[in-house]
Structure 1
């Protein structure tokens, strides 16, 4: 019995020691955001907050403060290079990351500014190069088969009080072949569903099984990636065999990617992706392109995107990945701009291997468009295109995004007949679904009247004037046409209301038509110049004294306004 107890105790100690050894190979991954990206996030967050979108602003602000995930050391079997394997979403928007190992003795080992060498186009995987000569033990993968009920372990650094905290968990495989195409870009890759602990910050950490032959006592069978909302202990890992698929798609020497042939291959591939879907376009859209989006352009992006892309964008913001959400919207717009237009690849107009930038020209008939590309995360990606400017997402033509909450106008009405003198107006206007408007207008009018008086039993008609305050409700339709940041908005409206004077009151009704010129300078923020025709009939309640039956006012209305 004593011998059995000692054997059991030694197994426990070995298990604890091997778990401690994992901390030498499982790392905290901290993306390093460029100054451009940090400025973009700060400005974007401030703009969103000013427009009342506080939750979205908080997401951007928190993301800008710095995020982290988990990764693990892995040695490539083909070139013997040492890498950190993690999730693609952990390193989004970053070309370099800081790697930190929190060792069992509470010391740390750091490798700063490690390059993101590549990301998987279909699966949520990325790999980061550790410096030459880095002394880090690597985890090994295994092709050992697993079944439902297999005991598995997780290791990672989920957040605790906003800081990464080591966590080693245990569970079972609850579904060894979970087919969820929405998580694998529609590829047939069975995921591993398991119950071992996974929390925010665990992304990119290894899913392990016991392996007595491995130096740490564990072998990698998967990479933890997703946690199902609304379910208890339902976590998913990408099978470890996807790591080799990822590494084999990248040359060991990145200089091999800096060729015209490689640029041509990617540029042609983008045209093929455009005929498919925004998901297929995603690998071709750079994060630099995302940084060129402004707050007001983002609203245009949301409105212009397709319904599936809009839903995906919303999901990314809810999950704390705002940059990926914006990238989805861009991919959707680019896909639609290039699909169905018969674009063909023409040439690589220029290639700079030092700055890792290139210009690619496409043609459609007699039309040529220039696109800018850059090397990012081990892939040539699109930075800009003439037909999809980041500052002008919505194309010219009839606008579906034009509109504002409330605008105020100051105006003049110049008479076209002798019914009244020059008058002044103040209006408050709102849009409904872009094409419908309603408005409340107050005007000060000096009306020319004819007053009946009696002199020596004779009826005498005397001309005069009467100051009245006129208030109307307007309901109208408009057709905004976008020309860059300028909108030409022809409109027509009907109106009705009351006018009030010292001794003259009545009702009025009529119509108006004209053209409005608007300049957009923010989300639902415009300045306006309005020129149009206004005609109305004014009927007094008491016409015994004032002869104003069906008196018609006809005038030229001009105004300036601003929305807020």
Structure 2
């Protein structure tokens, strides 16, 4: 009996040693996936980075720089029956990618990288994606094997992948057990809707492991490991509760992705559009729903303008929510901004969005044009097939997909921002003519609370005749913006003190009431700089001097903040 116990104990230890010894072979099949973003996304992110650096936010700028490096997650090799090579991973790992690379790293540090991978097919509901190699190359003769036997609770499992360490990612191979072989999870915190099934296990999984395989030991297959799932998420508030998509779901996904059976594209689109419309009927903001349907091109082309619109027009709660998304994943934040921009165009001033399908046609490019009846108006949209899934590429005149039009809108925004017409504080200096007294210098300091102004002004006559007028006034400004220039009529009423000295012995002093009117001229070429012309009429109250009522014609230049 004792010998039998020793024999089984040695057999168990040998199996464990063999399994871990074969772990290094997994490195040839489990790789680090990096994203290459759409060129428009990169251009926009670099703009944000540059602006942050100029404002001294070096930490945030560095975060964007690191993000653009595209460290994303893990994936593993799958070889189809015809010898075609693919990489399997999670959909959320590769979303928003224009192209991808996968790197395999051996124990001695040697790396093999394959660039130019493209997304072949995705299933957003299952969170699965399959990638194909550039030009259909076949660098592998075999991939990881699948274990079709349902896993048992308590059995040993292994997780492999490339979790992040700072701004890099490193190989990790971990061991645990299956703690629940078939579990469904609550989809939303405020909903009873469930999604899954998943395999719950305790093998260590960290950010970056997503898309990597969950394995069991199996003799006679490559690496002596077989795939039973794809690691996809972890429980935030629980310890050692990680979840993998089971292999039977993966097999269904692969069969669908590689199927050669003909598909009724119009029917496929109609189903997708129906789901899109249903989600818009919720009695809440729906930009998170719209974001799930946007093509990469739609986000890339419209994001910059959408962000300007968001910051200008969205409620604070929406801005804060999308800012939170952006801080976690900048590309997802851009996607959410475009989705809000589209939702804002759909939503009436009061009530919910009323939308229905009007028609489905095709355009000259062969893409589908879906016409919606939105609150009684027909809006056309283009839908394109992206990775096997139909996505919204353009929407009416809002998200047009025309880069030149977006650039024109952005130039208009930049001009509007540069064309300052509302100032918190502004200073002026210039020349004026005090009738009956002569040429004078004028200086003023003004505070603005739109549309009102509060100012302190000095006019001092040059030459032998001494005249000084110190006045305060309250005024109003009404800007008229004309693209790159603005004309601002202004007026005001004030009071002040006038000091005169025509001879050494003749000192004059009087209090005056004044009425003023004039025009300011501003251009976006030099933000904050303006010219103004005005006329002031002073009504004097005789105290020491018999100074008559008189006018002042002035010209000045100013700068405002």
TM-score, with length taken from structure 1: 0.69
1:332 aligns with 2:340: yes
Q: Tell me what 1:97 maps to.
A: 100
Q: Tell me what 1:350 maps to.
A: 363
Match of 2:288 among 254, 279, 292: 279
Are 2:346 and 2:374, in contact at CA under 8 Å, matched by a contact in 1?
A: no
Are 1:469 and 1:499, in contact at CA under 8 Å, matched by a contact in 2?
A: yes
Are 1:124 and 1:225, in contact at CA under 8 Å, matched by a contact in 2?
A: no
Matches within 5 A, 1:245-256: 246-247=253-254, 250=257, 252=259
Matches within 5 A, 1:476-487: none
Alpha-carbon deviations, 1:359-405, whole Å to 9, x = none?
55556699654544444333333333343245659x99xx99x9989
Counterpart CA distance in 1 for 2:487 and 2:94 is 44
Are 1:347 and 1:362, in contact at CA under 8 Å, matched by a contact in 2?
A: no
Are 2:160 and 2:173, in contact at CA under 8 Å, matched by a contact in 1?
A: yes
Decide which moves more: 499-508 or 81-90: 499-508
Counterpart CA distance in 2 for 1:59 and 1:11 is 44
Q: Tell me the CA shift for residue 95 of structure 1.
A: 3.1
Decide which moves more: 130-139 or 497-506: 497-506
Counterpart CA distance in 2 for 1:418 and 1:245 is 95
> In the superposition, relative to structure 1, how do residues 476 and 11 fare at CA in structure 2: closer, same or farther (>3 Å)?
farther
Q: Tell me the CA shift for residue 328 of structure 1.
A: 0.8
Q: Tell me what 1:455 maps to.
A: none
Match of 2:161 among 135, 156, 159: 156
Q: Tell me what 1:41 maps to.
A: 45
> In the superposition, relative to structure 1, how do residues 306 and 255 fare at CA in structure 2: closer, same or farther (>3 Å)?
farther
Q: Tell me what 1:29 maps to.
A: 33
> In the superposition, relative to structure 1, how do residues 509 and 146 fare at CA in structure 2: closer, same or farther (>3 Å)?
farther
1:310 aligns with 2:319: yes
Are 2:91 and 2:128, in contact at CA under 8 Å, matched by a contact in 1?
A: yes
Partner-residue secondary structure (3-state), 2:146: coil
> In the superposition, relative to structure 1, how do residues 62 and 187 fare at CA in structure 2: closer, same or farther (>3 Å)?
same
Counterpart CA distance in 2 for 1:490 and 1:560 is 13
Match of 1:388 among 398, 402, 408: 398
Counterpart CA distance in 2 for 1:386 and 1:308 is 26
Q: Tell me what 1:203 maps to.
A: 210
Counterpart CA distance in 2 for 1:213 and 1:511 is 98
Are 2:437 and 2:467, in contact at CA under 8 Å, matched by a contact in 1?
A: no
Alpha-carbon deviations, 1:455-501, whole Å to 9, x = none?
xxxxxxxxx862345567x79798x9999x77989999989897797
Alpha-carbon deviations, 1:514-552, whole Å to 9, x = none?
99898879xxx9668798999898999xx7424689x89
Counterpart CA distance in 1 for 2:12 and 2:559 is 82
Match of 1:119 among 122, 126, 130: 122
> In the superposition, relative to structure 1, how do residues 446 and 67 fare at CA in structure 2: closer, same or farther (>3 Å)?
same
Counterpart CA distance in 2 for 1:151 and 1:506 is 98
Instruction: Structure 1: give runs of 5+ residues left out of the alignment.
Output: 449-463
Match of 2:231 among 223, 230, 255: 223
Counterpart CA distance in 1 for 2:430 and 2:372 is 51
Counterpart CA distance in 2 for 1:185 and 1:552 is 80
Q: Tell me the CA shift for residue 507 of structure 1.
A: 9.2
Are 1:59 and 1:317, in contact at CA under 8 Å, matched by a contact in 2?
A: no
Number of aligned residue pairs: 525
TM-score, with length taken from structure 2: 0.70
Q: Tell me the CA shift for residue 55 of structure 1.
A: 4.5
Partner-residue secondary structure (3-state), 1:284: coil
Are 1:178 and 1:192, in contact at CA under 8 Å, matched by a contact in 2?
A: no
Q: Tell me what 1:445 maps to.
A: 459
RMSD, aligned α-carbons: 5.5
Q: Tell me what 1:453 maps to.
A: none
Q: Tell me what 1:460 maps to.
A: none
Decide which moves more: 525-534 or 327-336: 525-534
Alpha-carbon deviations, 1:133-181, whole Å to 9, x = none?
432422426573666x775532111234644321112345678554252
Q: Tell me the CA shift for residue 298 of structure 1.
A: 2.3
Instruction: Structure 2: give runs of 5+ residues left out of the alignment.
Output: 348-352, 400-405, 502-507
Counterpart CA distance in 1 for 2:480 and 2:357 is 30
Counterpart CA distance in 1 for 2:489 and 2:189 is 45
Q: Tell me the CA shift for residue 348 of structure 1.
A: 3.1
Counterpart CA distance in 1 for 2:197 and 2:535 is 68
Are 1:263 and 1:348, in contact at CA under 8 Å, matched by a contact in 2?
A: no
Q: Tell me the CA shift for residue 71 of structure 1.
A: 1.1
Are 1:426 and 1:441, in contact at CA under 8 Å, matched by a contact in 2?
A: yes
Counterpart CA distance in 1 for 2:220 and 2:190 is 32
> In the superposition, relative to structure 1, how do residues 466 and 314 fare at CA in structure 2: closer, same or farther (>3 Å)?
same
Q: Tell me what 1:73 maps to.
A: 77
Counterpart CA distance in 2 for 1:124 and 1:555 is 73
Are 1:260 and 1:351, in contact at CA under 8 Å, matched by a contact in 2?
A: no
Alpha-carbon deviations, 1:173-200, whole Å to 9, x = none?
6785542526999653466665543334
Q: Tell me the CA shift for residue 20 of structure 1.
A: 2.7
Counterpart CA distance in 2 for 1:539 and 1:533 is 19
Counterpart CA distance in 1 for 2:262 and 2:512 is 77
Counterpart CA distance in 2 for 1:284 and 1:428 is 50
